[in-house]
Structures are given as C-alpha cells and as structure tokens.
Amino acid sequence: MKKIIENRYANLYLNAAIKLGLEYSILNEEIGLVRIYSDKTVLDISSNVLGVNSQLSSNLSVNKVKTSILLKSQNIPTPKFKTFTEEIAANTYAINQLKKKKALVVKPISGSLSIGITVKPSTPAQIRNAVKEAFEGNSSIMIEEYIPGKHFRITILDDEIIAITQRIAANVTGDGKQTVTELIQQKNAQREKMQLPPIFLRKKDLHYLKEENIDLQKIYPKGTYILLQLGCDLDIGGERVRIDKENIPQENRELFINAAKTLSLRFAGIDYITPNITTPHTLIRSAINEINSAPDSDVHYRDTFPHDNYAAERIMKNIFFKNTSGKRKNEAWHLSKSSISFRGIEATL
C-alpha cells in the first residue's frame, strides 16, 4: 500500500480514494486531516474520524453509560452496570460482587482503545488496582457484568454492514518443544514481518496467567491452546479474523443496524460479544458492549488478509457512489420521542 500520509488511518482512506478515482487534498498532515471529493460529494477526514456523524451522536457514543441506557431503552442487549464517582465505593461494591462469584469488567465511562479497562479482576488487590487505573484522568467509572463469549467488531455505514471482524486475544499453541515465553518470541517475530505490534504482557495479564496456572517457562503438549490475555486489542498482541457477513443471520444484522440508529449514527463501530455470531441473538446470551462513532477501518485491514484495504474501499464507495437520495441524506434523525434522563439511571447488576 502506498504511503501518502504518516497517519495510518487517513492513509487507508486516501489509498481507497485513489483506487476509486477520487480526488484528494491533504489539509494538515500533522493531525491527519484530509479531504476526499468528487464533483458531487466532499468528505473531510481527521485520522479515523469521518465527517458524517453529528456532534450529538458522537458525544452520546463516547459516554458508555448514555450508550447503554439508550440501547436498553430499545431492548438491545447490553451488560448490566453501576456507576461510581469515588474509589472507596467502587472498591466496596466490586469486592462484594467478587465474594458472590460474579465476574466483572471495570472501565472509565468515557474513553477508547481499551485504556483503563480491566477484565475479570479476581482478587481484592486486583480490583483496587483496576479501579485506580480506571479513575486515572476520569471523574467517574462504571463496573459492569462480564459477558463471556467471542468479540466482534461490526462497522456500519448508512444502514449497511461494511465489515465484520473477530477480535481474538493474544495466544500461543504448545508444540511440545518450546516454553510459552519462547512461543511468544516466535510469534512476535512473525507479527513483526506482518507489521503488527508484538504480544505485550501487562501486569494484569501476568495476574490472569497466575490465576489460570499458566507457567511462562513451561513446555506444553503439542496442540495446547494457551490464552495469554483477556483483552483482545491488536496493540498488545491481539489477532483479527475476517467474518463473511453473508453468514450472519438476519436477526443479528438488524440488531447491529438498529443499535447504530438508536444513537443516530451514520457511521459506527459496534463491539459485540457472543458465543456464536452465526446464532440469532434471541437464542443465546449476547450483548453489545460499546459503540464507537469513529471506528477505524484498520481493525478490518489487519486481519486474515493484512494487505487488503476492502473496508476503507467499501466506505468510500458507500459515501461517493451509492444513491442515498431520499434516504439518510435528507432524513431528519432524532432520538426516541420519549424523554430520557441520563442522570442517576443505572442498569444495576
């Protein structure tokens, strides 16, 4: 892929624009601000932010509490949660939940890139560390129930599913010869060739491995699957697998599209947790975990075919070549007519 600009997100869109015969100009390279245009349409992009969503919709999606409340109001499955503004109260609640054998996720109410998020802290000390980390730079946090299952990112644009990718946590497979540490080093060498960030084990990951009795210096039998982390971010070693959207049942397609509509988002990245994405959500326990108003097509780029820019190309085709007359371009989008108060509302565990 041709390097047009340093910002990797904007670069994907610029490469897609060139392939589709669209014009472009770089407005400010330092912040990745570019403009792509045709004789009928102009699109401004700053890094991974496309100028298609309203300020209101973007602000709603950034706040995880508001997102959860709105989704729940439309009977869209989300994890149950409580919010906290003080560390002591958060610690007390989470430790009590731990005593009841309930698995939790601790995270800031606002934020992205999984910063400040801890999945399934299993001791009081880990909970206190998780709460402290979540509060760093934030005045409030949320503690929600842990939903077991596989993680998927679904990108939506104008009521159309652009791409679906499974997000897999860092892992290695035993070969009967090498230790886990050696397997990680071997995999990191492969990831470097693919221009992917290396597997990086954080303190919370080491706690998880200890709880699971996984020894980094042990040689495991051939074929043994070893999960190294509970988070599935690419930047710490996660993997991506492309999912054919044609295999997704209609009930799930409608769920994803309705979730974006609920927040009045034209462009959205939906994080969905389910044991099986090919099973209708009405038949199994699943949940929409978050909705991102500035999803990056890089999620789909670095998957099974790491040099295929298909997601950015589909987004550009949708914006510049799809006839949306009478549909969303001229449609006035509103939130539910019912009055929704965000203050003091919690979906309690």
| pLDDT tens-digit profile, the chain (349 residues) | 899 999 999 999 999 999 999 999 999 999 999 999 999 999 999 999 999 999 999 999 988 899 999 999 999 999 999 999 999 999 999 999 999 999 999 999 876 556 789 999 989 999 999 999 999 988 999 999 999 999 999 999 999 999 999 999 999 999 999 999 999 999 999 999 988 899 999 988 998 999 899 999 999 999 999 999 988 889 999 999 999 999 999 999 999 999 999 999 999 999 999 999 999 999 999 999 999 999 988 899 888 888 899 999 999 999 999 865 434 443 333 343 333 333 344 454 5
Between CA 320 and CA 157 the distance in angstroms is 12
Let me know whether 117 and 174 are in one domain: no
Amino acid 323: pLDDT: 64
Amino acid 297: pLDDT: 86
pTM over 0.95: no
Residues 6+ apart with CB under 8 A from 225: 171, 173, 174
Last residue of a domain, one of 229, 253, 269: 229
Last residue of a domain, one of 229, 247, 276: 229
Amino acid 112: pLDDT: 59
Is residue 154 in some structural domain?
Answer: no
Between CA 346 and CA 202 the distance in angstroms is 31
Is residue 202 in some structural domain?
Answer: yes
Let me know whether 138 and 185 are in one domain: no
Last residue of a domain, one of 229, 244, 277: 229
Domain membership of residue 202 as a residue range? 170-229
Tell me if residue 299 falls in helix, strand or coil: helix
Is residue 334 in some structural domain?
Answer: no
| Number of structural domains in the chain | 2
- CATH code where residue 109 lies: 3.30.1490.20
Is residue 326 in some structural domain?
Answer: no
Residues 6+ apart with CB under 8 A from 88: none
Burial class (CB in 10 A: 0-12, 13-18, 19+), 175: middle
Is residue 189 in some structural domain?
Answer: yes
Q: Which residues of 105-144 are buried (b: 16+ CB within 10 A; e: fewer)?
A: bbbbbbbeebebbbbbbeeeebbbbbbbbbbeebebbbbb
Amino acid 327: pLDDT: 43
Amino acid 338: pLDDT: 37
Residues forming beta bridges with residue 299, ordered by sequence position: none
Let me know whether 177 and 216 are in one domain: yes
Amino acid 330: pLDDT: 35
SS3 content of the chain, % helix, strand, coil (to 5): 30, 25, 45
